[in-house]
């Protein structure tokens, strides 16, 4: 199996590494040798860590011997599958797909690792829109087990099945969306966490550190919400927010992320975002106060409401949402499992309180309202998103 990866940045080099670790032949394409050489160093560094920890038996050099790099698309002439991972600019993605469409064999599949751009918008530019699909990895790809598979309205079901199998061959757990929605499952929920975190800070309910302390110490998330935004890249956060809201997602007034991007403080990649990091591209866990007054149910309330929306619209079910959050974001428990434990009545109270302040996005979803009004409030009542014996 030969895989072409276009774009060797944060996600692209990680995807190439994952494919090579799975024994696949990889063709990695980018616009300059400087960028490609940097990607090779990053793959080597990551593989070395995985080898030293015993996660992989093969040496980094042996894995990397399956990766060929080039600034030309010509090396993808024999590829069975291509994955694009370039910045979130629709015109740029379309250009990449036009190039791939010319070079990659006609019966091969073209996938995009976009965070939020609709797959149909990208596929339409090619001569094979039924062979174009979303294959969404999580940062860092070598560690995160999830791959979201997003068929567009044109995608052939065989292409979806092939992509699901490919994700499994790469050692990942695929979650397949039934219908394409902007931001998919992962980033729709991530957006809601970002929005609520921002609302709390900008309305002076809490500081950045207090929100993150509650996320990490009370909810036991691996990173605080702002810390995760820094890790993903604040430019990426602003882009995915814009794409989802422009396509119908409800907005929440917030300027914090945009202001950081305007100041070129992009998070880990630039060495500074909401927090300072040792050097550009080098993450180290941020120091947070052990105590925080922020109720954990407040942090996840809007995200749970989004989960209810995804269920209401039959995009995925509760288990699939939780798989996304556990394997894509390393949540210790699923988002809806957490909601059931906290109590859906408490989640609903948070939503009502905040929507009463005038925030449209927090209007409780009918699925949630119905559950609470019929006494399904989670673990305490024996039934919520899940049934408890
Ligand atoms: N390759 C190999 N190993 C790596 C690695 C990489 N790229 N990155 C980190 N590691 C290793 C470290 O070397 C360390 O190994 P050790 O235990 O042997 O010393 C181990 O992983 C833990 O790393 P750290 O000590 O640096 O830090 P943490 O314990 O905080 O773990 C983390 C890092 C795994 C990233 C964890 O913080 C986490 O799970 N965070 C959440 C990440 C997340 O949510 N990602 C999804 C973002 S959203 C997204 O990508 C979608 C997009 O569309 C926006």
Query: What's the number of domains the chain is made of?
Result: 3
* 33, 48, 92, 161 from 95: Cα distances, Å: 20, 34, 5, 26
Looking at 148, 180, 209, 227, which residue is catalytic?
148
Q: Is 359 exposed, middle or buried (0-12, 13-18, 19+ CB in 10 A)?
A: buried
How many CA atoms lie less than 13 Å away from 244 in the CB half-sphere? Answer: 28
Say yes or no: 145 and 126 in one domain.
yes
Give the phi and the psi of residue 136 in degrees, each rounded to 5.
-105, 115
What distance in angstroms lies between residue 367's CA and the mean position of ligand 1's atoms? Answer: 34
For strand 132-136 and strand 146-151, is the pairing parallel, antiparallel, or unpaired?
Answer: antiparallel
Say yes or no: 114 and 40 in one domain.
yes
Does the residue 276 lie in any domain? no
Going by alpha carbons, the residue nearest to atom 35 of ligand 1 is 140
Write out the residue range of the structural domain in which residue 335 sits: 296-381
Looking at 46, 116, 187, 270, which residue is catalytic?
187
Say yes or no: 161 and 243 in one domain.
no
Say yes or no: 27 and 131 in one domain.
yes
Rg for the chain, CA atoms, rounded: 21
Q: Which residue has the tokens 């995804």?
A: 310
Say yes or no: 309 and 259 in one domain.
no
* DSSP reduced 3-state for 78: coil
Q: What share of the chain is helix, strand, coil (3-state, %, to 5)?
A: 50, 10, 40
Q: Which residue has the tokens 């949540």?
A: 331
Say yes or no: 315 and 351 in one domain.
yes
Which residue from 262, 261, 183, 181 is spatially nearest to 229, judged by alpha carbons?
Answer: 261
Q: What is the pLDDT of residue 191?
A: 98
Say yes or no: 113 and 142 in one domain.
yes
E strands present in 190-295 = none
148 annotated active-site: yes
Say yes or no: 24 and 99 in one domain.
yes
Q: Please choose from 139, 269, 281 the residue to mutate so as to test ligand 1's pocket, defined by most ligand atoms within 8 A of CB.
A: 139
Give the phi and the psi of residue 293 in degrees, each rounded to 5.
-85, -5
Say yes or no: 48 and 156 in one domain.
yes
* Sign of CA pseudo-dihedral 68, 70, 75, 80: positive
Q: Element (H or E) spanning 68, and its range?
A: strand 67-70
pLDDT along the chain (389 residues), means of 10: 96 98 98 97 97 97 98 98 93 96 98 93 96 97 97 97 98 95 95 98 97 98 98 94 92 97 97 97 95 96 98 96 98 98 98 96 98 98 96
What distance in angstroms lies between residue 38's CA and the mean position of ligand 1's atoms? Answer: 19
Going by alpha carbons, the residue nearest to atom 26 of ligand 1 is 284
Q: What is the pLDDT of residue 366?
A: 98
Buried b (16+ CB within 10 A) or exposed e, 35-55: bbebbbebbeebbeebbeeee
Find the CATH number of the domain harbouring 345.
Answer: 1.10.1040.10
CA distance 126 to 110: 9
Residue ranges around ligand 1 (CB below 6 Å):
46, 49-50, 53, 115, 138-140, 142-144, 186-187, 190, 222-223, 228, 232, 236, 285, 328-330
CA distance 112 to 85: 7
13 annotated active-site: no
Looking at 8, 79, 113, 115, which residue is catalytic?
115
Does the residue 56 lie in any domain? yes
Do residues 307 and 340 touch, judged by C-beta distance below 8 A?
no
Which residue from 69, 79, 70 is spatially nearest to 3, judged by alpha carbons?
Answer: 79
Looking at 136, 180, 320, 365, which residue is catalytic?
136
Say yes or no: 226 and 341 in one domain.
no
How many CA atoms lie less than 13 Å away from 56 in the CB half-sphere? Answer: 23
Do residues 74 and 82 touch, judged by C-beta distance below 8 A?
no
Tokens of 125: 């530019």
Do residues 170 and 197 touch, judged by C-beta distance below 8 A?
no
Does the residue 63 lie in any domain? yes
Does the residue 326 lie in any domain? yes
Tokens of 311: 């269920």
Does the residue 12 lie in any domain? yes
Going by alpha carbons, the residue nearest to atom 5 of ligand 1 is 46
For strand 67-70 and strand 81-84, is the pairing parallel, antiparallel, or unpaired?
Answer: unpaired
Say yes or no: 27 and 78 in one domain.
yes
Q: What is the pLDDT of residue 373?
A: 98
Q: What is the pLDDT of residue 98?
A: 97
Q: What is the pLDDT of residue 292?
A: 96
Say yes or no: 361 and 261 in one domain.
no
CA distance 48 to 61: 9
Q: What ligand 1 atom has the least distance to the C-alpha of 11?
A: 50
């Amino acid at each position: 199996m030969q895989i072409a990866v276009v774009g060797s940045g944060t996600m692209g080099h990680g995807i190439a590494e994952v494919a090579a670790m799975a024994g696949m032949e990889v063709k990695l394409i980018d616009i300059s040798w400087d960028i490609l050489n940097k990607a090779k160093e990053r793959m080597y560094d990551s593989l070395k860590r995985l080898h030293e920890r015993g996660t992989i038996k093969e040496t980094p050099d042996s894995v990397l011997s399956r990766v060929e790099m080039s600034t030309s698309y010509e090396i993808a002439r024999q590829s069975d599958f291509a994955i694009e991972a370039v910045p979130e600019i629709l015109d740029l993605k379309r250009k990449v797909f036009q190039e791939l469409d010319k070079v990659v064999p006609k019966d091969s599949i073209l996938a995009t690792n976009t965070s939020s751009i609709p797959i149909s918008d990208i596929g339409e530019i090619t001569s094979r829109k039924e062979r174009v699909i979303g294959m969404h990895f999580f940062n860092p790809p070598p560690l995160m087990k999830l791959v979201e598979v997003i068929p567009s309205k044109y995608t052939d079901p065989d292409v979806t099945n092939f992509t699901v199998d490919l994700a499994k061959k790469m050692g990942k757990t695929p979650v397949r969306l039934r219908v394409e929605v902007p931001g998919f499952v992962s980033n729709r929920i991530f957006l809601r966490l970002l929005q609520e975190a921002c609302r709390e800070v900008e309305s002076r309910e809490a500081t950045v550190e207090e929100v993150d302390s509650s996320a990490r110490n009370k909810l036991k998330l691996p990173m605080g919400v702002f810390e995760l935004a820094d890790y993903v890249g604040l430019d990426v956060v602003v882009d995915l927010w814009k794409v989802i809201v422009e396509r119908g997602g409800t907005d929440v007034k917030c300027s914090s992320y945009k202001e950081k991007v305007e100041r070129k403080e992009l998070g880990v990649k630039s060495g500074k975002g909401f927090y300072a990091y040792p050097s550009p591209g080098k993450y180290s866990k941020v120091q947070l106060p052990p105590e925080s007054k922020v109720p954990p149910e407040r942090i996840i309330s809007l995200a749970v409401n989004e989960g209810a929306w995804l269920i209401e619209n039959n995009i995925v079910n509760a288990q699939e949402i939780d798989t996304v959050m556990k394997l894509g974001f390393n949540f210790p428990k699923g988002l809806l499992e957490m909601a059931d434990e906290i109590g859906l009545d408490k989640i609903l109270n948070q939503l009502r309180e905040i929507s009463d302040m005038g925030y449209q996005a927090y209007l409780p979803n009918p699925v949630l309202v119905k559950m609470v009004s019929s006494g399904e409030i989670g673990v305490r009542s024996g039934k919520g998103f899940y049934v408890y014996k």
